[in-house]
Structure 1
Amino acid sequence: MTLFAKKYIAAPVIAGLFAGTAFAHGPDDGGIKAEKGNAEIASFDIVHAKISTEGSTALFHMGVSKNAGKSKPAPTGQLAGSDVFSYVWPTTINAYEVGFDKDAGILAFAVTSHPDFDDTPLFDENGDGRLDNDGDLWHSHWVVLTPDEACGPGSLKVKDIPEGAKPRLPKTWPGLPLHIDSPGWSPVITGDTVEVRVPFENIGAVENTSFDGVTSGLRVNESVHAPLLCVVNVFDVASGDLSLSGKVNQ
């Protein structure tokens, strides 16, 4: 059984922190080279996925066929049943390294867009003086993923926080009943690439990890209850089989 049931659906660049950091190697060197044409939507058709490091900064890089970031979910006007589009790097980094409980699940770094809600309450991405109206702009998260058959056979969800539970959570946890962090590291999306430069306290935890690249759609449960946020569509997987075959700096 695969972790994802593969389906396809039709579907402003934000200046990044550390945007001026120069990595000594080209972004398309190493990483996972993916076959072009595996996704119906070019902006989610992965051709390359990579994680590299320099000093205490990690670069999460994904290349697509064209028009990275162009396709976004259609707004529904409500939270229940609303969609999330994402560029995701599942990793073998222990969730403890970014502030969650040890061995909480699959730690993934994600760049997402969702016009019907805002889950970055500490940041004003569109600069209009409000903190609650810019979920449609591409932004970054750490998420912990776990299997849940309620999301569909072999599917994953963002791990829920049961009522009354008090798990270890990052300082920039956005207050949702989910294992999600909203650290405010801005993606840089240009042409056919999505990149985020992430400062990391324990860079060794990144350098020793394996990873993959995934483009996917998630959906908020109609009941707005656990499972709250399910992976419902996978547009493309860099490795082809979610084997996490990528090695950092290789």
Structure 2
Amino acid sequence: MKHSLFACAALTALTASAGAHPVNSPQDTSVDPAFDITRVTATTDGRLVTFMMEVAGVAGSVTPEPTGQLAGANVEAYVWPTNLDPAVVGFDAGSGTLALAITAHPDFDDTPLFDENGDGDPANDGAGWHSHWVVLTADEACGAGLKVRDVSPGQDLLPATAPYLPIALDSPGMSPVIDGHLAQITVPLADGESVSFDGVTASLHVNDAGTAPLLCVSGVHDIASGDLSLPGVIMASEPH
């Protein structure tokens, strides 16, 4: 993997950076092409924000090998960290870095309100690519120094569509578009213009013992900016 550790100082810095939009990233032959980021962008019409990530290979073509259970399960993810406060989508204010993620994990279903594979059973999904809002925080116990924040449902604030796992994860049901080199997701987000963001491809791992830290970032494939400085800026989309 290109990066084994996030820069925690950059992750916890929630001030907007004055970088350019979009963020272009050089190809790296040491990274699996499915996760080798070449470009990330984000645009808004004032009501909806569309986040896009281009990779050198075929987006979504690599998924985790199943383990057969939640404990010890693996996750692959295309992620857009932002400088938005987690309270914007219903988490505790100031509780970490709010990130939008497109993930796949064949061993558990964390979208109980939605039937992604369309088979009539909303409880057997997860293997296909789907979306989440997550809150990331630093934890040295994790391989990449980061985790999805551990929470206590009923005590910590969670969005109405959260699956009530003991982590800061929401499953709002926006469907990603995975096509060729592109991974794309559109989300409702008012006043998104000028929000800062970055692009990351990463692997995550559920704690083998099923205890905290429950969901660690175990390794990073690529970071669009190289240093997680959030140089991207959400721009107004061009009128049609």
Instruction: Indicate the TM-score class for this superposition, using the shorter chain for normalisation.
Output: 0.7 to 0.9
Partner of residue 245, structure 1: 231
Q: Does structure 2 conserve the Cα–Cα contact (< 8 Å) formed by 1:210 and 1:244? A: yes
**Alignment deviations for residues 136-167 of structure 1 (CA, whole Å, 9 cap, x no partner):** 10000000000011114x611000014x7611
CA shift in 2, pair 1:113/1:39, >3 Å: farther
Q: Check the 8 A contact 1:88/1:213 in 2, yes or no.
A: yes
Partner of 1:111: 102
Q: Which residue of 2 aligns with 1:145?
A: 136
Would you say how many aligned residue pairs link Structure 1 and Structure 2?
221
- Where does structure 1 differ by over 4 angstroms across 4 or more consecutive aligned residues? none
Q: Which residue is equivalent to 1:23? A: none
Is 2:174 the counterpart of 1:188?
no
Q: Percent identity?
A: 51
What is the CA distance between 1:238 and its match in structure 2? 0.1
2:114 counterpart SS class: coil
What amino acid sits opposite 1:223 in the alignment? A
Map of 1:157 onto structure 2: 147
Matches of residues 64-213 of structure 1 in structure 2 within 5 Å? Answer: 64-152=55-143, 155-162=145-152, 166-200=155-189, 203-204=190-191, 206-213=192-199
Task: Report the equivalent of 2:5.
Answer: 5
Q: Map Cα deviations across residues 58-115 of structure 1 (whole Å, 9 max, x no partner).
A: 0010000021100000001111111000000000000000001111110000000000
Alignment check: 8 A CA contact 1:139 1:187 kept: yes
Q: Match of 1:16? A: none
Q: Which runs of 5+ in 1 are unaligned?
A: 7-28
Tell me, yes or no, if the aligned pair for 2:46 and 2:193 is still in contact at 8 Å.
no
Which amino acid is 2:43 matched to?
Answer: S
SS of the counterpart of 2:75? Answer: strand
Letter in 2 for 1:181: D
Q: CA deviation at 1:38?
A: 5.5
Residue of structure 2 equivalent to 1:12: none
- Determine the structure 2 residue equivalent to 1:234: 220
1:39 is displaced (CA, Å) by 4.7
